[in-house]
Structure 1
Amino acid sequence: MLTIKLPQIFRIHQVPRIFWEDGIISGYRHPKSSALDCILSSFQMNNETINIWTHFLPTWGLLLALFQGSTGTGTVENHVESLPLTACVCLFIGCAFTYGAYTMPDRWVNGPLHHYFVPVAAFNSFVCTSLSCYSRFLELECPPLSKILRTVAFVYPFIFDNIPLFYRLFFCFGEDCPWNDAIAGYSYHLFFALLTGFLFASHLPERLAPGRFDYIGHSHQLFHICAVVGTHFQLEAVLCDLHLRRDWLSTHAPASTFTHTFATLSTALLGNLVLIAFFTVTLFRSSVSTTILQSTLSEVERHKDK
């Protein structure tokens, strides 16, 4: 009979310090888990199990809703104005394309920000990846700075991408402001986005009761759920703008083209892959990081053999 041995899990003092999470005492996976171990670990209870499933399942549900909403009938139609939504389906990159195409305030359409919005957002993705990767090098020597850089890596592009939305919600009033049914959805989206950021930065509730939320209910799981709910409202609002503003945008806004959309996406994807490869190689060549990992992993092996 074929038997599958599930990977062993560890307590906080049994794994390298760089993997420690505030308030999480047990349920850690082995720092050098194989690909098979990672797959198997998603079917056993550890402190990452619910994180994995709250990523995996909602992603496909939202992508299905996005695809059906962008085509209108669930079948592929040749709608030029749906290209930014299709781009998000294909390569999972940000909301800048959809905001630039459907959310931009009427008075900003064809203005400087509108023309450079997506290219700047693509550049911001490089900044985000660089800060996020570099922050890992500071994890042991300066944890607070590492946390700040990683937080900035997500807050900065979020603020930029939402500039059109902030303007519509707080400063845009009058006949040339698209105040429609989408506004409610955008408002809910921002609320859950702020709640997501708060949970990410605060490590609540596990920080208040270490060990009580190791497997279920810690901040990482909660901010995944808030992010999914916020994305749902964002998607509903964008699709509402698409359908309500389609005629006006087709007349006044520059048409999206397949070449421009996917050229920008390809550049962003390739550039980010190069950055990730660069930081990965740098990490493996770092003698300090290698020494720290090897010395702490020996502790893991000793505990594993007991």
Structure 2
Amino acid sequence: MKRAEGSFETLSRHEVPKEFREEHVLMGFRPVNRPLTYYLCTMFTMHNEVVNVWTHIIPFGLMLRVFLMIVKEDQELTKQNLSKDDQDSTSVGTGTTTESPNRTFYLFMCTVLAYLLVSALAHLMHSASKSVHYLAFYCDFATIAFYSFLSAVAFYVYSATPAFFARFNWCYVYVAWTLALSIPYACCFAKFKFTRPYPPEKKLYILGTIGTLYLWNIYPVVDRIANGDLQDNTYHYLHLAAFLSAVFFYSSGWPQKSFPGLCDHFFHGHQIFHVLIAITTYYQVLAIRYDMKNYVNDDSNSDKAKGSGNQRTDCWSEVSSLFAIHALFSLLVIRHFYKKIQKVLAEQKMQ
């Protein structure tokens, strides 16, 4: 049964194609095959995706503000540093390199903004058509992979102990990169292969690849905790707790499976997942920034790094090259699966 929401209407699950149905959600679906501007306007109307949109739009705005504040702070510190007579000092506040020492962190922040924005757009626009639906979430998977890879790099460069950094000698980053490459392919494959109602295997593809990289991601943090070297950086505990909570709501299907129809617009598990992932990201950024200021540049840690024979750097040349290859690979994966789903949809129309 159609229900008017201002000048926009919403539909029941039986009135939309199966590709757009959500398990345990009964109402609040938007009509398909409308102009893209229609879906942009639904950002300000009530439907069952609007909370998913805003739970990433609002964090996007917050993280953009945080990013701009950090850039401004770094610029002021750089000016202060350049005004000193001692030209041998290296990047106040980061302790990495003398030229643009925060490049790796800035790239990490760009991936944070990218995954939040693309996820919001995916939830906002996916009802435009079946083709747009698949393309939107393929792009969503790719940006999640970018963010996951740069998270690993940021933890390694800014949060790892000197001994950990020296022991892995950048093989840590190459392992993270390899695992990150598996995310867009596995997730796009699962989205293409499985149709609603989704079997458990779909979440295994997604959680398996992203979860494996996450475990590798937090290895430097867990190493710090195990060695009692976390100092006063409680932000690490907070982002770990938020992520584990997010995984529960993503994988369990709760609370909507216990209350079908009651969580159509609010308190759906995926909405709670969005909030918790945004909290995870926020505390992750604060944790890494804290380590940049108070851990990497600590004199005792600098001495340990020198003693290990492997001075800590951001290795921008390696990271930027790997990221470029990762981006190209992801584009090819998206193109491959988009062509495949276009072929399937064309065959369905002919039947």
TM-score (norm 1): 0.82
Match of 2:23 in 1: 22
SS in 1 for 2:102: helix
CA contact under 8 A between 1:104 and 1:165: conserved in structure 2?
yes
| Worse overlay, 209-218 or 246-255 | 246-255
Structure 1 consecutive aligned stretches of length 4 or more whose deviation exceeds 4 Å: 73-79, 248-251, 289-295
Change (3 A) 1:8 1:76: farther
- For residue 232 of structure 1, report the CA deviation from its aligned partner: 1.7
Question: What are the residue-to-residue correspondences of 1:238-253 with 2, within 5 Å?
Answer: 238-248=288-298, 252=305, 253=311
Shift of 1:215: 0.8
Q: 1:67 to 1:121 in 2, by over 3 A?
A: farther
Aligned residues: 282
Aligned to 1:234: 284
Match of 2:28, SS state, is strand
**Structure 1, unaligned runs of 5 or more:** 296-306
Residue type of the alignment partner of 1:181: D
> Hey, what does 1:181 align to over in structure 2?
232
Q: Which residue of 1 aligns with 2:184?
A: 129
Pick aligned residue for 2:342 from 278, 284, 298: 284
- Deviation per residue, 1:269-289 (Å, 9 max, x gap): 222111111111111123xx5
1:187 is displaced (CA, Å) by: 0.9
Q: Which residue of 1 aligns with 2:209?
A: 153
- Could you tell me how far apart the structure 2 residues matched to 1:76 and 1:281 are? 49
- Matched residues in 2 for 1:291 and 1:19: separation? 19
Which whole-Å deviations, capped at 9, do the CAs of 1:143-176 have from their partners, x for residues lacking one? 221222122232122112111112222x324xxx
Change beyond 3 A, Cα 1:244–1:71: farther
* AA at the equivalent of 2:230: W
1:55-96 Cα distance to aligned partner (Å, 9 max, x none): 112113113213433663565949443222111233443212
Determine what percentage of the aligned residue pairs are the same residue.
Answer: 19
Residue 8 of structure 1: SS of its match in structure 2? Answer: strand
TM-score by length of 2: 0.72
Q: Distance in 1 between matches of 2:31 and 2:77?
A: 44
Judge conservation of contact 2:9–2:31 (CA < 8 Å) in 1: yes
Question: Which structure's relative contact order is higher, taking Cα pairs within 8 Å and 6+ residues apart?
Answer: 1
Counterpart code for 2:219: I
Moved more, 187-196 or 252-261: 252-261
Instruction: Measure, in 1, the Cα distance between the counterparts of 2:37 and 2:227.
Output: 52
Match for 1:119 among 174, 187, 202?
A: 174
Q: Is 1:110–2:166 an aligned residue pair?
A: yes
Question: How big is the shift at 1:33?
Answer: 4.4
Q: Which moved more, 1:271-280 or 1:27-36?
A: 27-36
Partner Cα separation in structure 2 for residue 33 and residue 263 of structure 1: 40
User: d(CA) in 1 for partners of 2:246 and 2:208?
Assistant: 14
Shift of 1:140: 2.5
Alignment match, 2:3 = none
Q: Which digits, 9 at most, give the CA deviation of each residue in 1:125-147, with x for residues without a partner?
A: 22111111111123228622122
Partner of 1:35: 36
Match of 1:86 in 2: 106
Give the partner amino acid of 2:231: N
Contact 1:70-1:239 within 8 A present in 2 as well: no
CA contact (8 A) 1:71 1:77 kept: no
* Deviation larger for 260-269 or 274-283: 260-269
Aligned amino acid, residue 293 of structure 2: H
8 Å CA contact retained: 2:186, 2:205: yes
Aligned-partner Cα distance in 2 for 1:293–1:160: 44
Indicate if the aligned counterparts of 1:87 and 1:265 stay in contact, CA closer than 8 A. no
- Going from structure 1 to structure 2, the CA distance change for 1:144 and 1:257 (only over 3 Å counts) comes to closer
- Aligned residue for 2:199? 143
Residue 246 (structure 2) aligns with: 196
> Are residues 29 and 219 of structure 1, via their aligned partners in 2, closer, same or farther at CA, if it must alter by over 3 Å?
same
What residue identity is the alignment partner of 2:209? A
Opposite residue 161 of structure 2, the aligned amino acid is P
Aligned-residue CA RMSD (Å)? 2.6
Contact preservation (8 Å) 1:181, 1:240: no
Alignment partner of 2:296: what SS? Answer: helix
Corresponding residue for residue 304 of structure 1: none
Distance 1:117 1:293 in 2: 47
Q: Which residue of 2 aligns with 1:274?
A: 332
Q: Distance in 2 between matches of 1:26 and 1:139?
A: 23
* Residues 194 and 245 (structure 1), Cα distance of their counterparts in 2 relative to 1, 3 Å cut: same
